[in-house]
Amino acid sequence: MRLLHPAVLIAFPTTLLLTAAAIALTDSPPIGEQPVIQHHLDHRAILEGRVSLQEAIEAGRLLFTADFNRLDGAGRPETDGTGDPRQRREGVEAFNRVSGPDANACSGCHNKPRVGGGGDNVANVFVLAQRFGFVDDFTQVDPVRGEIPGTLSAVGNERNTPGMWGAGAIEMLAREMTADLHAIRDRALRLARQMRRSTTLSLETKGVYFGKITARPDGTVDSSAVEGVDADLIIKPFHQKGVVVSLRQFTNSAFNHHHGMQPVERFGRDTDPDRDGVPNELTEGDITAATLFQASLAFPGQVIPRHPKRAMAVYRGEQLFEKIGCAHCHRPTLELNSRYYTEPNPYNPPGNLRLQDVPQTIRLDLTRDGEHPRPRLTARGTILVRAYTDLKRHDLGDDPRIHNERIVQGGVPTRVFLTKRLWGVASEPPFLHNGRATLLTDAIDAHGGEAADARRAFWSLPEYDRACVIEFLKSLQVLPPNTRHLVIRE
């Protein structure tokens, strides 16, 4: 049992080590089989400081690693992963590797090289398969499409588990970029009204170009020339298609899809839609804690090898990475104006805690709270996020190693993916969205579409220079816990 606070009591079905203080706070210590979550967190308690930020982060870590059981509400016998009713499934049919629930703990998949990271091919998930109540064979009728899928690839899009490192900074970058794009759109609308004619402006934020938007005098906009983001101009930095706004939205969906743990803010208080006998399986405070834990995860960094030949190869490879065009999408650095992560996200969609639901936000300082290594402030008071992404979607072509999906997610074409964050890439093989590349060279070779020129430039390099590019990518690692610098030398 781990006691963090009188309001935070999470028990694990392992050896119990109780302190005298813990026993004093527990009048009747539970024995026998128990739910993992003994007491749920109250979001307001975190907001008011009755549960400290560090206690909330620690509680979130425990929720992220907890092996939920039936007494917690794990499983969803009468709902599918979208929340729609289904024929009751329990017992041996409570778990389904394809349509879910498919995992006992978040850390069951997010574990390379440690909790919070990516996953092996064995941990791949089948995105959108949760629309099926239970995938027993591939001849059952698709409940949404009304057709017989026939194959696994027509049931769900197989995806490798991404690492959540530096996720708080990634979400804040997306928020700042969204605010910039919305400001450009609003300016175009003002100019169109003032000049009484259509006005077209370029959409650019943090050096990333998202096409153009045209505003009309009647207050409507033409978004047909917008690229790499939805017409609402909200940057969605999570999921490999770039369709999830926030860590909170990601967490709410994942708990229900993968574990059958239904959050109150998604399903309603004092309800039991899956009819498993457990209402209020995850409170707003529980989701806040799990979100804060992910937002506080360490930044990946770079390891410069001890051997001079390898070190020189890293430096040369970094220069070549930019020269051949890889950095056009995998931008080495994006600058974050604010040092603070705040919860909830102002762009959260319905079904997730929103700004209008709370009197104020919870604030986490990315430079002081959470795991090491952390970023340092620049002289301008900003943070340089070396994530190697532009947070934009790109068409990656028809190579079957990439263009293997058949189901459109969130309206994003099957050839189009969000630029993968490369920080920490060497610590989280396999590669590509589906984990099918076991070598970095294979992942590069699969790139086509907008990345075709960079791929050709890579293969046109002499063998030594190609090896230097790979050596550079190998230097981008998840650093050991409590490392104090983002660049270390062996």
- Residue 348 is classified by DSSP as P
What type of residue is 364? L
Report helix, strand or coil for 159.
Answer: strand
Model pLDDT, residue 42 = 96
Burial status of residue 60 (CB atoms within 10 A of its CB: 0-12, 13-18, 19 or more):
buried
Model pLDDT, residue 18 = 39
Model pLDDT, residue 6 = 38
Model pLDDT, residue 420 = 97
- Structure tokens belonging to residue 477: 């690692």
Model pLDDT, residue 23 = 44
Model pLDDT, residue 90 = 85
Model pLDDT, residue 267 = 97
Beta pairing, strands 199-205 & 221-222: unpaired
pTM: 0.93
Q: What's the distance, CA 272 to chain centroid?
A: 27
B/e letters for 123-137, b = 16+ CB within 10 Å, e = fewer, are: bbbbbbbbbbbbbee
Which residues, at least 6 apart from 474, have a Cβ–Cβ distance to it below 8 Å? 314, 426, 440
Q: Note the residue count of the chain.
A: 490
- Structure tokens belonging to residue 41: 């967190």
Model pLDDT, residue 9 = 42
The ranges of the chain with pLDDT < 50 are: 1-24
For the chain, which residues make up each domain, given as ranges?
Answer: 167-222, 301-337+382-489
Q: Which strand (E) or helix (H) includes residue 303?
A: strand 301-304
SS3 sequence, 120-151? CHHHCEEECHHHCCCCCCCCCCCCCCCCCCCC
- Structure tokens belonging to residue 258: 């993968």
Model pLDDT, residue 26 = 53
* Domain 301-337+382-489 of CATH type 1.10.760.10: yes
Model pLDDT, residue 27 = 64
- Taking only the tens place, the pLDDT of each residue in 8-40 is 444 434 333 334 444 445 567 788 999 999 999
- Structure tokens belonging to residue 481: 């816990």
Model pLDDT, residue 3 = 37
